[in-house]
Chains A and B, each alone.
Chain A
């Protein structure tokens, strides 16, 4: 067959070729030899492929250096025609490939073993195409369902933490559904909100912008509800993160911040397999803050009053004027955030199919509670269905996947964390003797009253996609990816009058309900043409495609105020006053052509050229289209004849490099238009309209130039595998909302800035099989990232509104601060340096110190030990960084608020080296101003580095001798079990005093497969 090609240009040859292709599936390969002129005798080789647990269906068997191939059937059997000196290559996803010389055998038995060190053989999803790990020219990090299953998480991003180099993820709150921040190779954009990566689920872009409304969900998540948390982690087969230009440029304008590809699970051929998995988890906060007890607290208060010269305690100083019992002590952290959160998760799936058609159906049910008092809970029901079909002639294939997730999240209307930290330790009991909320005659704002207000978030997410492909002759293939996504979010927050102190005398007339409905629908069509051709030493792969995408979004929010009774609150129509907060619709259209040419010579020299021309409706006419592209190259030097011969130490060696341009269009829709929008403001029966923005019709794309060079080395049959990469990303033509003074009428203007931000870094990935024997295996993998962010250029920075924010040559993560100069021995107050010596402390003149908040380095170490049926897996995550200390999170020491214990060390008792200045109740203006400056000074910066036992999993597969097909696994897992840090606040990861930190969780689970 290889002797025939278009190249010869002879029509009859072509005819025979076409005929052969058309009939190849009907005719046995052995018959083909009559149609070709082969010098050697071919014979039919049959055999069976198995793995440790039995026959392995779906294994690809190829006669090396030819196009002849087959796939094993359900019983692992295959049959293929080959010559005696041919080599058969057996390969299967995540198994070590094997090569066997045919020789005189006509029946071959092959045992494939799963081998983590042959990950380079794994096929990696690169979005529009897939590539073998060893052949890839780009930088792609990956986790699979095996890693995800080890953690009982709600949000897929949580499962990536600490597992990927160049990917820094932190959780902003410990409530289910809360936000995560993800940075792939640092912040590229000066704008705060445009640094999200592009998410693609099964080929369909998934908008990560929240549909939430801040009027409804201000206090629950440390941000708005996060759409990524509506993807069910249990349905995910793999997550690939594309990092460099070679991998991301094919995503053009949306690839600047990296691309996260999520692929859901697919059915596998073979016997019908049922899988039931259920686990239960208990969770607690990771750490309590060390706060004052009553005695310490009251001592500070009375000293503060004395300092302020107040001897008659004011009426509202209940803690100290005798209104509240001064011998009482309550650990409010225990009362308000010290509860136990539970998770129950059950998942059922059935999968299987024939060689031609496979299916998977799975369902997940999850219930999660919180550490708050009350009955806050999160429910998830998720269904995933997949069907894959390949026609008998192997030409047509279809993959259809649908994932539906319904989440309902009921949370307290207000996160109680801040109250847990600041409530006076002698505040009264929560309940009175008869079990009602205690208001202590109106003097106590009972924190549990906030639980009378609830926040309910219902999110329904449907993602469906179909991939159709048809193989044409001569290596051509047409494919079309069709995708549809529908996300709906409805939120409601109730604020009944019972939330408030009854002594205000509020009735249900003051009860309020805020509701928000957000809908987003999008479709995408991506027809593609693929051509590949192999010669003896040369292989070419060409892809061309086009994208049509449309997204429509609708949001409707209203505020309903005043009800005849709180029982009527669920019907907004019963409100006496209804205000429409938001009624908006937007449309986003996106169109592109893209292509890729991949050339591979002698399995050694690989060149990958990708490009994309993008058009986006987010830009004004004239600025809509732009070109992006990249060039990647790899040299597998271990395949060079000089090195490859009998090299027992170096088993693999590759150098790769890439350079290219990507863009960023995360600016929201319609920003270039000069418009007036309808507002909720009513006056004299007229609904108001107001200018939407300061408009600039001329802004264009932000461009991001990425350079990467990497070396990949495998030693001792790849038992040790090292990847070291250096990257340099430069973002210029920064598309930002330039902050403006209020005198312009708006806080910012959408525009391009001629500034350049550079992210460079070193990434190191190491995998090693430390020990491998029949019963015992120990593998370690490490990832380490050393990032550096730098503002390279910013013409006229000093004349811009950014002059007090950034410094050229420094990271854009910096924060300008005062320089702390100790306590003033005369006044006992904090002092900061008067840099410009004008006799006063002003932000513009004296904020001249700065601290870089970017992580210095971060990474993770995973160890996996398995002995027979027992597997232990643990991940340590580490981050070296600085953070804001507790001083900035609490009101001034001496005021009506609890404090961290450090506040006890104070002036004058502990002299001028004391940690805290002279106490004040809040009437000493100089002390307040000094405290304000202090919280903005370098003195409050703390080391917020941490090492955390992020996940630990111990599983045991119970050997069932009576059936090979049944397996039972029991496991225990832990999340955030140990944290080593010097950070004085509650948690170094979210560094917040307002939101609950990530939780420490213990899980017990069982999995049954039959």
Chain B
């Protein structure tokens, strides 16, 4: 009996035991199959899915526009290209304790300067994104027709736009056209002349691809005129005055664009002279520029407008009173840019950062005409902005005088906008004589910025460093 009982017990036990062991063995064998599969992260899309749909491709494009607004060469943020180049030129004097900005303001830039690196890396990061989206759209069968042309046109335009700034700031630069890191990590410099050719051919391609119209009612994305306006500028910079005049004329003759009657409305959202501006992103936001240049007490803790600029306005120039604000502390007085006025949110947004405006096209044409001998045409174009500022017609009547007058007019019209002043001084050969007296660290090699040191350490092919650093 006892034995019988025990056997039963053992059988039960054996069964339980066997099943546990078998289960474990099964687990050991089968555990390693699909358990480690994970779903896609919910906040991400696969690269291929992005190009299944024009809407997601547009989101990728929106990101590129927004990044251009928030950082890099044309951004109005404190560390953006616009304020750094103004600081580097005679638009502004350095104040404050920020040693990174001080190096720009006093022409003592070191290759290790952190803002210098962002002026280099942000555009290249945008160029990567642009190239990636171009490759995606070109490979996509889902994005076709008008959508495809417009998107590609905008992307190619934005690529040229970034390179325009890079070549002006750094000279010979790597010209990246693919997303292949194996190529891009060891890419050598392309001579500036070649970069300029690429910029112009990209802009021409964009001009072809882009339609006349903006995608929405606002002028916040590139269209055909945007490409043409940029072509006019690039042709002027590269000495192709005939083409510069031709492109500027196309834009000027486009009835969509009208010079605002009074300087006070030039920087308001929805004005008629804007060719391209940045949408501020969040509804009710205004410009980064207004915040960047704002200070209310003196001495300022950041760069302020130079008194030389303030004093160079002719008597009665409306721009002096409408676009500049004075800050007084006792006997001392300081000036700050007041083109963009809204430092906080408004409903709706009052001001957008303007990248391209019609006034520049008149002054491009004036300069091209002056150089090619069309004196009266040049005077006429120059008087557009003079008259609007409440000034009489120009008295300059020779090519040389007109060139001087146009350079001066550009200074007064475009101060603290889009690096205009620094690039104008540089391209007209006036940098040394203008800045050597003002900037303590001026050297003739300051015409080019240093290539960021960390880049030279990572890619030998970028050597040698630009002269003087």
A interface list, Cβ under 8 A from B: 12, 14-16, 18-19, 22, 308, 314-316, 441-443, 445, 472-473, 476, 478, 501, 503-505, 507, 509-510, 527, 529, 544, 546, 548, 562, 576-577, 579, 583-593, 613, 615-617, 624-625, 669-670, 673-679, 681-692, 694-695, 739-746, 749, 801, 803-805, 840, 842-844, 847, 891, 895-897, 922-925, 928-929, 932
Q: How far is the CA of A593 from the CA of B39 in the complex (A)?
A: 23
Query: Which of B6, B125, B216, B454 interacts with A16 by CB under 8 Å?
Result: B6
Q: How far is the CA of A583 from the CA of B44 in the complex (A)?
A: 10
Residue contact A473 to B13, C-beta cutoff 8 Å:
yes
Q: List 10 A-B contacts (CB under 8 A).
A: A510-B344, A527-B27, A529-B21, A577-B282, A615-B35, A676-B46, A687-B62, A742-B117, A745-B184, A928-B103
State A314–B282 Cα separation when bound (angstroms): 40
Q: Is B348 an interface residue (CB 8 A)?
A: no
Q: Is the CB of B6 within 8 A of A19?
A: yes
- Interchain CB contact (< 8 A) of B63 among A315, A590, A683: A683
User: Is B7 interfacial (CB 8 A cutoff)?
Assistant: yes
Of residues 14 through 40 on chain B, the ones whose CB sits less than 8 Å from some CB of chain A are: 17, 20-21, 24, 27-28, 31-32, 35-40
User: B44 is contacted by which of A675, A740, A891 (Cβ under 8 Å)?
Assistant: A675
CA of A499 to CA of B9 in the docked complex: distance in angstroms? 78
Query: Which residue of chain B lies nearest to A747 when distances are taken between CB atoms in the complex?
Result: B121
- Known contacts A587-B39, A676-B45, A677-B44; A593 and B13 CB within 8 A of each other: no
Expressed in whole angstroms, the Cα–Cα distance for A546 and B45 within the complex equals 33
Interchain CB contact under 8 A, B9 and A22 = yes
Contact between A745 and B129 (Cβ–Cβ < 8 Å)? yes
User: Which single member of B7, B63, B97 contacts A15 (CB below 8 Å)?
Assistant: B7
Interface-located stretch among B225-233, B257-265, B312-320, B456-464 = B456-464
| Nearest neighbor of A21 in chain B, beta-carbon distance | B13
Contact A687 B31 (CB under 8 A): no
The interface centre, meaning the residue of A740, A742, A844, A891 with most chain B CB atoms within 10 A of its CB, is A742
Most buried by A among B108, B125, B181: B181
Asked if B43 CB lies within 8 Å of chain A CBs, one says yes
A155 to B85, CA, bound (A): 48
A441-B218 Cα distance, complex, nearest whole Å = 44
**Given A472-B17, A842-B465, A591 and B36 touching (CB < 8 A)?**
yes
The answer to whether B460 touches A844 (Cβ under 8 A) is yes
A residues in contact with B207, CB < 8 Å:
none
Known contacts A686-B62, A844-B463, A673 near B10 by CB under 8 Å? no
Q: Which B residues are in CB contact (< 8 Å) with A685?
A: 283
- Give the residues in chain B near A925, CB-CB below 8 Å: 106-108, 440-441, 443
Find chain B residues with CB under 8 A from A546 CB.
Answer: 24, 27-28, 31
- Contact between A576 and B124, CB atoms less than 8 A apart: no
Nearest opposing residue in chain B for A500, CB measure: B301
Residues of B within 8 A of A445 (CB): 301
In the complex, chain A residues whose CB is within 8 Å of the CB of B102: 922
Q: A673: which of B40, B63, B106 is its contact (CB, 8 Å)? A: B40
Which B residues lie within 8 Å of A683 (CB)?
Answer: 62-63, 65-66, 69, 220, 279, 281
B41 touches A585 (CB 8 A): yes
B70 touches A681 (CB 8 A): yes
Instruction: Indicate if B321 sits at the interface (CB-CB under 8 A).
Output: no
The yes or no answer to B58 lying at the interface (CB within 8 A) is yes
Is B332's beta carbon under 8 Å from chain A?
yes
Q: Are A316 and B44 in contact (CB under 8 A)?
A: no
User: Cβ of B50 and Cβ of A676 under 8 Å apart?
Assistant: yes
Taking a contact as CB atoms closer than 8 A, the residue among A308, A529, A675 that contacts B45 in the complex is A675
Please determine whether B285 and A590 come into contact, CB atoms closer than 8 angstroms.
Answer: no
Contact A589 B38 (CB under 8 A): yes
B120 near A742 (CB under 8 angstroms)? yes
Give complex CA distance A743, B344 in Å.
Answer: 35
- Partner of B455 from the list A562, A742, A840, A922 (CB cut-off 8 Å) is A742
Given contacts A740-B185, A741-B462, is CB(A844)–CB(B457) below 8 Å? yes
Q: Which A residues touch B454, using CB under 8 A?
A: 741
Select which of B110, B332, B460, B462 is within 8 A of A928 by beta carbon.
B110
State whether B125 touches A742 (Cβ < 8 A). yes
Additional 15 contacts, C-beta under 8 A, given A476-B17, A624-B36, A742-B452: A314-B299, A504-B294, A576-B344, A683-B279, A684-B62, A690-B60, A691-B129, A691-B132, A740-B185, A744-B181, A801-B458, A805-B457, A840-B469, A844-B457, A924-B441
Q: How far is the CB of B192 from chain A (nearest CB, A)?
A: 16
Tell me if B197 counts as interface (CB < 8 A to partner A): no
The 10 tightest CB contacts between A and B, nearest first, are A745-B128, A688-B63, A503-B297, A681-B66, A742-B121, A925-B441, A505-B296, A925-B108, A315-B299, A686-B62
Q: Does B253 reach chain A (CB closer than 8 Å)?
A: no
Interface hub of A12, A19, A473, A922 (most chain B Cβ within 10 A): A922
The answer to whether A689 and B50 touch (CB under 8 A), given A591-B31, A684-B216, is yes
B78 in the interface, Cβ–Cβ < 8 Å? no
Asked if B10 contacts A18 (CB within 8 A), the reply is: yes
Q: How far is the CA of A544 from the CA of B17 in the complex (A)?
A: 15
Q: Let me know if B281 and A583 touch, CB within 8 A.
A: no
Most chain A beta carbons < 10 A, residue from B44, B46, B329: B44
Query: How distant is the Cα of A630 from the Cα of B36 in the complex, in angstroms?
Result: 24
Interface residue? B47 (CB, 8 A): yes
The answer to whether A688 and B36 touch (CB under 8 A), given A676-B50, A741-B459, A745-B179, is no
Q: Which residues of B contact A588 (CB under 8 A)?
A: 38
Q: Say which residue of B59, B120, B298, B440 sits within 8 Å of A315 (CB atoms).
A: B298
